Amino acid sequence: MTQLQRKQQFYKQLILAKKALKSKHFKVSFYHLENTHILGQKHVYRHTLSHYWMLVHGIKTHSLKEVIGQLFRIIASVLFTLFWVPKGNTGGSNISATKPIPVRKELQKYF
């Protein structure tokens, strides 16, 4: 798979996440946002965009933990993406921001 295909899948997952969020399917939405994070974490803009939408998700679900976690992750994504990212990390505040995780099976073909 190419970088272009990974980028295209990132935006596809983002669209799915936004649709699910709008329909209040919060678990489905967050799953797709985690996929955007995995796919976009090596690109500053896409990495930061995935955290921005996780922040929106946190606001809409009234999760103070997620909101605070994403505010810190947005800053970190801008500052550190070009230097180091933990591969496969899903990006939510429910997991350490520095923990590498095996890439989900359905996304492995993009790596």
Please say if the pLDDT value at position 1 is more than 80. no
C-beta separation of 40 from 55 below 8 A: no
3-22 vs 26-40: helix crossing angle, rounded to 10? 160
pLDDT of residue 2: 81
- Domain parsing of the chain, residue ranges: 3-93
pLDDT digits (tens, 9 = 90+) for 5-56: 999 999 999 999 999 999 999 999 999 999 999 999 999 999 999 999 999 9
Tell me what pLDDT residue 15 has. 98
Q: With contact defined as beta carbons under 8 Å apart, do 63 and 94 qualify? A: no
Question: In this predicted model, what pLDDT tens digit does every residue of 55-82 receive, in sequence order?
Answer: 999 999 999 999 999 999 999 999 999 9
pTM score > 0.75 for this model?
Answer: yes
